[in-house]
Structure 1
Amino acid sequence: MTDARTEILRRIRAAAVPPAAAPPRHYLRHAPGLAEDDRPAVLALFAERLAEYGATVLPAEDPATAVAEALGDARTAVVPAGLPAEWTARWDGEARSDRPPLTHARLDATDAVLTTCAAAVADSGTLILDGGPGQGRRAATLLPDLHVCVVRAAQVHSALPGALAGLDPRRPLTFVSGPSATADIEMIRVKGVHGPRRLAVVLLP
């Protein structure tokens, strides 16, 4: 039995395909044709991609005015801990704290959620949230109908590799590319299936 086993293993090793060469690791770390340090072009691409998804983009010097415009007719909004209080100074709705955590029913009955983000990607028009200050927990960003996200220009990277380099993989990362929508059923586009139907991005310098 030992000799037979040895012979079988010998034949397997002899017939085995040689190990493949190591895959190349020289990935493109910026959007094609766009230099990471070309900040005006990076921000323009970010706004363009968001608009293609149907999101609203509000470049702003004054966050309070832009936030009030982005929230629009929303009468209630979840405001996570760590968000600057002055950002809601010109909005006359009800800011709801999520501490202690609001129930899912309460979140679903809230018009909007206002957050910051951990990073953003211009090439795909993506916001990345990791539950840090001003972002809150994942449920609070998925159940309200409107998500208003305040993004600083320095947080926008031209492509995903640049954004990932500054993120902690141990944190709960959520990637948001435009308002929630799906066309899985009979190719009919339906909004709001997996998250907010509306997305507004306030882009600060």
Structure 2
Amino acid sequence: MSSDREKIFSAIRAALDPLPERTAKPDWDPSLVICNPSGEFDSLTAQFADKLTFASSRFFDQVDALIAFLVKEGSTYGYCDPALAALFEGSEAIAFDTEFDHAKINDYAFGITKGSAGIAESGTIMLKDTQTSARLGALAPWIHIAVLKEADIVPNIPAAIERFGDDPSIIFATGPSKTADVEGILIEGVHGPGIQIALVLP
């Protein structure tokens, strides 16, 4: 006869097991999801850059310009997804680990990870667990750099939702975290990166 402790942990394990079937995504009217562009843009990337900046984020399309920004910020040591390391290995101005070391979590000034999509209508960066080498690399450092391909800039939120697939966890990051108290004082970067950057490459 199993003990009460074994019964409890057995129930917890059963509750955490993946469901045999995922619940179907709800239907929605895409026309209800609207965030009008602030002007005329010649590409989704240009619209994304505009909205991203409006959301207190930063946009770069050149690696050298990004590195110069990190140096100016005094943020020259961090974490980089090993699949992206080749983009930065030629620079002597910054240093990084390609394996996230939890013991150095307070030492990492920046984290460079893959972004899954950029949403042009809102300046949102979508991060999927299956494409992120280390979730803490995107959430713990003060500066997070999401590297995106131009082909992964989608027009709107419904188009991003179509890319969800079966990923167990997806984050929408629209600028740095923001919180305000009852007096209306806005503070950024309280629970997450204080500086959100998108590096968009061809």
TM class by smaller structure:
0.7 to 0.9
Within-5 A mapping of 1:91-130: 91-98=92-99, 101-103=100-102, 106-130=104-128
Distance 1:32 1:189, change over 3 A: closer
Aligned counterpart, 1:69: 68
The two structures, once aligned, show a CA RMSD in angstroms of 2.7
Q: State yes or no: 1:27 paired with 2:24.
A: no
Q: TM-score, normalised by structure 1?
A: 0.72
Q: How far has the Cα of 1:192 moved from its partner?
A: 1.2
Aligned to 2:160: 163
Work out whether residues 70 and 202 of structure 1, in 8 Å CA contact, stay in contact via their aligned partners in 2.
no
Q: How far apart are residue 111 of structure 1 and its match?
A: 0.6
* 2:70 partner amino acid: L
- Structure 1 residue runs without a partner (length 5+): 1-22
Alignment match, 1:200: 197
Contact 1:59 1:203 in 2 (8 A): yes
- 1:48 and 2:47 correspond: no
Instruction: Say if 1:33 and 1:125 are closer, same or farther in 2 by CA, change over 3 A.
Output: closer
Task: Name the counterpart of 1:58.
Answer: 60
Higher-Rg member (1/2): 1
Q: Report the equivalent of 1:151.
A: 148
Tell me the alpha carbon deviations over residues 12-57 of structure 1, each in whole angstroms, 9 at most, x when there is no partner.
xxxxxxxxxxx984423985667xxx98342222111111122121
TM-score (norm 2): 0.73
Letter in 1 for 2:135: R
Match of 1:79 in 2: 80
Residues 130/91 of structure 1: CA separation in 2 closer, same or farther (3 Å cut): farther
Q: Which residue of 2 aligns with 1:18?
A: none
Distance 1:139 1:24 in 2: 32
Q: Matches of 1:57 and 1:136 in 2, distance apart?
A: 22
Distance 2:36 2:182 in 1: 36
Q: Secondary structure at the match of 2:118?
A: strand
* Counterpart selection for 1:174 from 167, 171, 175: 171
Question: What count of residue pairs does the alignment treat as equivalent?
Answer: 173
Spell out, residue by residue over 1:88-116, the C-alpha distance to the aligned partner (whole angstroms, 9 max, x if none).
42252221133xx522x622321101122
Gaps of 5+ in 2: 1-25
Q: What percentage of residue pairs aligned between the two structures are identical? A: 24
